[in-house]
Amino acid sequence: MSGYFRRVDDVASFSADTGTKADLFTGGHLFVGLNCFEPGQAQRLHTHHGADKFYLIVSGRAVMAVGDESHEAGPGTVVWAPADVPHGVTRALERTVMLVGIAPPPR
């Protein structure tokens, strides 16, 4: 569309082998991108030291884990993974697209 506008559907891509990541925008303070999964794919538990993160499920459905919480999440659910709290995608139940934001941006 233009420099400041991007459509998730134009950027999302999928791999039969593993979940994929795509960058949308990166500034000095914030990164925004996509995580895309085929059914059955996962993202192992991990921690961002000193960085806050969220996921928004744009489409699909997945079991998500943050700290000691685990829930199925579908479109319109925001999952908050504060700095230093382990989080991940236990299992995508459908083809799933998540918007992800991380602040400060990963190096």
Residues at the site binding its own copies, with contacts judged by CB under 8 A: 1-9, 24-25, 27-30, 32, 50-54, 56, 58, 64, 66-67, 69, 71, 73, 76-83, 85, 99, 101-104
Query: Smallest distance from the beta carbon of 28 to its own copies, in angstroms?
Result: 6
Give backbone dihedrals phi and psi of 8, rounded to 5 degrees, phi first: -55, -45
Query: Smallest distance from the beta carbon of 77 to its own copies, in angstroms?
Result: 5
Q: In what order do the strands lie in the sheet with 62-66?
A: 43-46, 87-92, 62-66, 69-73
Query: Smallest distance from the beta carbon of 100 to its own copies, in angstroms?
Result: 10
The span from the CA of 1 to the CA of 50, in Å, is 33
